[in-house]
Amino acid sequence: MKKRPVPDSHPSVKQNSMNDKGKPKKVSENRESRLLVRHSFEMARELGISTILVYAESVQDQRYILKSKKHEKIIFLSQRTHDIHEDFRDSCDILTLPHHDLSRSEQFQLGLLIATLSDKVEIDETVLCMAGLVGSLRLDNLLITNLKRDNKWFKQHNYESIPKDLLLSKQFIKLLDIVLRLAKEGREGKNIGTMFVLGNPHSFSEHYEQMILNPFAGHPEEFRNMHNEDFFETIREFAALDGAFVVNNEGTFERAGVYIRPPTSNTLKRPRGLGARHTSAAAFTSSIDALAITLSESSSIVTVFSKGSAVLTLNP
């Protein structure tokens, strides 16, 4: 009697079946993603988790996730809004990440931060995250996390004090993308170490000093704006200068080669194990409404500082 085939819905079929040469058949990437999605929703419902954060590049994965949801809120993370199929956009929220490859943990870290600041996730809400390696077109990673519980910055600071407008601005996302690219590519085969201050330069002008002639002086604003794609190579060249960049809230680079003089503070706890650049960024942001982004020359780690300590650390 001919054996009846086992339906594909059985989770162990392809893993245990053999090909003509007696070797295990390879599990399809699409089927891996579907199993991860199915079990993730089961786990979320058992744990009472109502928000699912997803980085999914495959339209098939996006469709299956939205078909699997019942009452859950789905938040898709994307480098470009049009990466999410237009038929799905009314059924989910979409948040934009930098146009740069991030590890799975960094996708979760940055995505959850943006989702919380956008009031799409509560500060102490537990969230289930699904992601895959950028470019792989499959899901392979699951994380259950809570920003207030798992992020050191939010353990130590009052949530209301964080500069939401800056961290949610397209200028911050674009500047972060620029720094991540510098971290990955370097300059002439060597790592780059530098610092960017994003905020209103007039509000902290007494806390920086121009060490050399300002290379941006006299140039039209549209030429030195971060959203001008032709401007990136200029940033790369000036990153070799000692000192920091000063960038205003509109994304225009005001200065380069700046020495940061943080306000003196007896209450600031200096971060241990960090170099002068990171210590300066922590001290500078401790009492000024600005963000500082540092790029470590030795490790290429990118760190975002606010209120005297690191909000976010990325290692491209």
Q: Domains in the chain and their CATH numbers?
A: 28-154 (3.40.1380.20), 161-314 (3.40.1700.10)
Range ranked top by mean pLDDT from 1-15, 87-101, 197-211: 197-211
**Average model confidence (pLDDT) across the chain:** 85
Which one has a higher pLDDT value, 104 or 29?
104
In degrees to the nearest 10, what's the CA dihedral of 122, 124, 126, 132?
70
- Please give the distance of CA 232 from its chain centroid, rounded to a whole number: 20
Q: 127 and 146 in contact (C-beta within 8 Å)?
A: yes
Of 10, 65, 72, which Cα lies nearest the Cα of 33?
65
Q: Looking at the predicted structure, is the pLDDT value of residue 101 above 80?
A: no
H-helix or E-strand containing 78?
Answer: strand 73-78
Token pair recorded at residue 231: 């401007």
Q: Looking at the predicted structure, is the pLDDT value of residue 19 above 70?
A: no
d(CA 316, CA 314): 6
- pLDDT tens column, 29-41: 678 889 999 999 9
pLDDT of residue 25: 47
Please measure the distance between the N-terminal and C-terminal CA atoms of the chain and give it in whole angstroms. 57
Average pLDDT for 235-245: 95
- pLDDT tens column, 181-230: 999 999 998 999 999 999 999 999 999 999 999 999 999 999 999 999 99
pLDDT band at 62 (very low <50, low <70, confident <90, very high): very high
